[in-house]
Structure 1
């Protein structure tokens, strides 16, 4: 299974680690972490390095759990790039972080998630970016929850 996980570098990636680690076939999965720097605007070298560091930090515990993890950095409209990347990589699932405390107008999920849900061919799972230690996620044996 190929799982695409877009990250915005402002969310708490621990939720992604816990969710993906709880999936039954994580050892047979390829988890593709990505960050899309929005246009217009330039991304300085420092911004690229911060994004690379953030994504590699999220990848580390997933790799330690035995998952095959790749990461990609892209530029463009985040929703468009996520949908295109999911199609290009033939992803089976998209997992996105939704910030519970942040609301965009009347939309709870935000524009990027809403656009991805509407346009992606793959199922999209949204998870909260706040997962406390000791919380067992669905499908995860409570003895292994940390």
Structure 2
């Protein structure tokens, strides 16, 4: 069994692209378990990962495809929390979908995708929302 941490934000298009990519893996319905993860940076309402439309969308797609999944949520800075989540859940790989940013935008605002890639030794698959 192969375990994949699916780092989801609130964007449906990115979530859809991630789900589609993982559904296309060989023997996805028999060989992988996904961990649907979200890191809350600010959460005054006390929402849960189950409350996010993007997470529910991916869970529904995985239900239809027969892909097993679990939920994971954390609070804090996304990149280090996602790397910690991958380690805590014994993930074999991390799946992310980045935002399009200009080089200047990356310098000013940072990049969770880049930080995750540079902070882990495990494979990281990045998915474009424009598949």
**Same-fold call, TM > 0.5?**
yes
Deviations 1:33-83 (A, max 9, x none): 111012xxx4132x7268623212211111210100112221011011000
Larger radius of gyration: 1
Partner of 2:26: 24
Counterpart of 1:37 in structure 2 is 40
Residues 10 and 103 of structure 1, relative CA distance in 2, 3 Å threshold: farther
Give unmatched runs, 5+ long, in structure 1: 132-146
Q: CA RMSD in A?
A: 2.2
- 1:52 is aligned to 51
Give the TM-score normalised by structure 2.
0.84
Q: Secondary structure at the match of 2:104?
A: coil
Structure (1/2) with the larger helix percentage: 2
Q: What TM-score do the two structures reach when normalised by structure 1?
A: 0.76
Measure, in 2, the Cα distance between the counterparts of 1:70 and 1:77.
21
Match of 1:138 in 2: none
Q: Secondary structure at the match of 2:61?
A: helix
Is the CA contact (8 Å cut-off) linking 1:35 and 1:51 kept in structure 2?
Answer: no
Give the aligned length: 125
Separation of aligned partners in 2, 1:81 and 1:50: 14
